[in-house]
Structure 1
Amino acid sequence: HQLPVGEWNFQEVRCEGRRVTITLNGHVIVDADLDVASRDGTLDGQAHPGLKRSSGHIGFLGHGDAVAFRNLRVRSLSGE
Protein backbone atom coordinates (compact mmCIF):
# COMPACT_ATOMS: atom_id res chain seq x y z
CA HIS A 1 0.00 0.00 0.00
CA GLN A 2 3.03 2.28 -0.15
CA LEU A 3 3.15 5.01 -2.76
CA PRO A 4 6.03 5.18 -5.26
CA VAL A 5 9.39 6.60 -4.15
CA GLY A 6 9.22 10.38 -4.03
CA GLU A 7 5.54 10.53 -3.08
CA TRP A 8 4.35 11.08 0.49
CA ASN A 9 2.50 8.28 2.27
CA PHE A 10 -0.20 8.98 4.85
CA GLN A 11 -0.10 6.84 7.99
CA GLU A 12 -2.30 6.93 11.06
CA VAL A 13 -1.35 5.08 14.25
CA ARG A 14 -4.21 4.77 16.72
CA CYS A 15 -3.61 3.41 20.23
CA GLU A 16 -6.68 2.76 22.38
CA GLY A 17 -5.74 0.92 25.53
CA ARG A 18 -3.92 -2.25 24.41
CA ARG A 19 -5.30 -2.09 20.82
CA VAL A 20 -3.07 -0.66 18.08
CA THR A 21 -4.48 0.07 14.63
CA ILE A 22 -2.23 1.31 11.83
CA THR A 23 -3.66 2.64 8.58
CA LEU A 24 -1.41 3.32 5.57
CA ASN A 25 -2.88 5.33 2.69
CA GLY A 26 -6.41 4.31 3.68
CA HIS A 27 -5.68 0.58 4.18
CA VAL A 28 -5.58 -0.99 7.66
CA ILE A 29 -2.24 -2.81 7.81
CA VAL A 30 -2.21 -3.63 11.56
CA ASP A 31 -5.14 -4.18 13.91
CA ALA A 32 -3.84 -5.87 17.02
CA ASP A 33 -4.52 -6.31 20.71
CA LEU A 34 -1.05 -6.29 22.25
CA ASP A 35 -2.05 -8.73 24.99
CA VAL A 36 -3.33 -11.27 22.46
CA ALA A 37 -0.43 -10.73 20.05
CA SER A 38 2.19 -11.33 22.75
CA ARG A 39 0.34 -14.06 24.69
CA ASP A 40 2.68 -16.79 23.40
CA GLY A 41 5.76 -14.56 23.34
CA THR A 42 6.97 -12.02 20.82
CA LEU A 43 7.70 -12.72 17.16
CA ASP A 44 11.45 -12.33 17.66
CA GLY A 45 11.46 -14.39 20.86
CA GLN A 46 13.10 -11.55 22.79
CA ALA A 47 11.95 -9.86 25.98
CA HIS A 48 10.49 -6.39 25.41
CA PRO A 49 10.40 -4.62 28.79
CA GLY A 50 8.20 -1.80 27.48
CA LEU A 51 5.48 -4.04 26.09
CA LYS A 52 3.21 -3.65 29.14
CA ARG A 53 3.67 0.12 29.54
CA SER A 54 0.63 2.35 29.29
CA SER A 55 2.64 5.52 28.60
CA GLY A 56 6.03 6.44 27.20
CA HIS A 57 7.72 7.87 24.14
CA ILE A 58 6.96 7.76 20.43
CA GLY A 59 9.78 6.54 18.19
CA PHE A 60 10.25 6.43 14.43
CA LEU A 61 12.16 3.75 12.55
CA GLY A 62 13.37 3.55 8.97
CA HIS A 63 14.74 -0.02 8.93
CA GLY A 64 18.12 1.17 7.62
CA ASP A 65 16.76 3.36 4.81
CA ALA A 66 16.63 7.15 4.71
CA VAL A 67 13.17 8.40 5.68
CA ALA A 68 11.56 11.79 6.16
CA PHE A 69 8.48 12.79 8.14
CA ARG A 70 6.22 15.82 7.86
CA ASN A 71 2.97 17.09 9.35
CA LEU A 72 3.20 14.96 12.50
CA ARG A 73 0.32 15.33 14.93
CA VAL A 74 -0.47 13.73 18.27
CA ARG A 75 -4.10 13.91 19.38
CA SER A 76 -5.91 12.75 22.48
CA LEU A 77 -8.71 10.28 21.78
CA SER A 78 -10.70 11.49 24.79
CA GLY A 79 -12.19 14.37 22.76
CA GLU A 80 -13.71 12.20 20.03
Structure 2
Amino acid sequence: VFVPGELGPQQVEIDSVAVDLTAECVDDIRASASAFATVPFDLERDVPFRVRVFSENAGADSAGLTVLVLVVHHIAIDGAS
Protein backbone atom coordinates (compact mmCIF):
# COMPACT_ATOMS: atom_id res chain seq x y z
CA VAL A 1 0.00 0.00 0.00
CA PHE A 2 1.04 3.64 -0.29
CA VAL A 3 0.72 6.33 2.37
CA PRO A 4 1.43 10.06 2.18
CA GLY A 5 5.10 10.85 2.83
CA GLU A 6 7.18 14.02 2.97
CA LEU A 7 8.18 13.69 -0.69
CA GLY A 8 4.94 12.13 -1.95
CA PRO A 9 3.44 8.66 -1.67
CA GLN A 10 5.59 6.17 0.22
CA GLN A 11 5.24 2.41 -0.16
CA VAL A 12 4.53 0.43 3.00
CA GLU A 13 5.03 -3.34 3.02
CA ILE A 14 2.15 -5.41 4.33
CA ASP A 15 2.37 -8.97 5.68
CA SER A 16 -0.20 -10.53 3.39
CA VAL A 17 -3.03 -9.68 1.07
CA ALA A 18 -6.16 -11.50 -0.01
CA VAL A 19 -6.51 -11.36 -3.79
CA ASP A 20 -10.07 -11.41 -5.09
CA LEU A 21 -10.11 -13.86 -8.02
CA THR A 22 -13.80 -13.56 -8.79
CA ALA A 23 -15.16 -14.79 -12.10
CA GLU A 24 -18.38 -13.23 -13.37
CA CYS A 25 -20.77 -14.34 -16.09
CA VAL A 26 -22.11 -11.19 -17.79
CA ASP A 27 -24.22 -10.14 -20.76
CA ASP A 28 -21.87 -7.36 -21.93
CA ILE A 29 -18.17 -8.13 -21.45
CA ARG A 30 -16.97 -4.76 -22.76
CA ALA A 31 -19.18 -2.72 -20.42
CA SER A 32 -18.39 -4.94 -17.42
CA ALA A 33 -14.63 -4.81 -18.04
CA SER A 34 -14.74 -1.04 -18.52
CA ALA A 35 -16.70 -0.52 -15.30
CA PHE A 36 -14.26 -2.75 -13.40
CA ALA A 37 -11.22 -0.94 -14.81
CA THR A 38 -12.46 2.56 -13.93
CA VAL A 39 -13.05 1.98 -10.21
CA PRO A 40 -10.54 4.23 -8.38
CA PHE A 41 -7.89 2.68 -6.13
CA ASP A 42 -7.68 3.56 -2.43
CA LEU A 43 -3.89 3.39 -2.26
CA GLU A 44 -3.79 3.73 1.53
CA ARG A 45 -5.94 0.61 1.93
CA ASP A 46 -5.75 -1.49 -1.23
CA VAL A 47 -2.89 -3.08 -3.15
CA PRO A 48 -2.44 -1.21 -6.46
CA PHE A 49 -3.76 -3.99 -8.69
CA ARG A 50 -6.90 -6.04 -9.16
CA VAL A 51 -7.94 -8.88 -11.42
CA ARG A 52 -11.26 -10.27 -12.64
CA VAL A 53 -12.39 -12.90 -15.13
CA PHE A 54 -15.46 -12.04 -17.18
CA SER A 55 -17.32 -14.66 -19.22
CA GLU A 56 -19.96 -13.55 -21.66
CA ASN A 57 -23.22 -15.47 -21.79
CA ALA A 58 -23.34 -17.46 -25.02
CA GLY A 59 -26.12 -16.41 -27.34
CA ALA A 60 -27.23 -16.74 -30.93
CA ASP A 61 -24.46 -14.38 -32.11
CA SER A 62 -21.87 -15.10 -29.39
CA ALA A 63 -19.62 -18.06 -28.66
CA GLY A 64 -19.29 -17.13 -24.99
CA LEU A 65 -16.07 -15.09 -24.86
CA THR A 66 -13.96 -15.11 -21.67
CA VAL A 67 -11.43 -12.39 -20.78
CA LEU A 68 -9.01 -11.75 -17.94
CA VAL A 69 -8.89 -8.09 -16.89
CA LEU A 70 -5.80 -6.97 -14.97
CA VAL A 71 -5.85 -3.38 -13.68
CA VAL A 72 -2.64 -1.94 -12.22
CA HIS A 73 -2.23 1.57 -10.82
CA HIS A 74 0.64 3.40 -12.51
CA ILE A 75 2.30 4.07 -9.15
CA ALA A 76 3.19 0.37 -9.00
CA ILE A 77 4.72 -0.03 -12.46
CA ASP A 78 5.93 3.11 -14.20
CA GLY A 79 8.72 4.11 -11.81
CA ALA A 80 8.54 7.77 -12.81
CA SER A 81 5.49 9.20 -11.07
Task: Using structure 1 for the length normalisation, give the TM-score.
Answer: 0.24
Q: With a CA cutoff of 8 Å and minimum separation of 6, indicate the structure with the bigger relative contact order.
A: 2
Structure number with bigger Rg: 2
Structure with the largest fraction of helix: 2
Q: Relative to total residues, which structure has the larger strand share, 1 or 2?
A: 2
- TM-score, normalising length: structure 2: 0.24
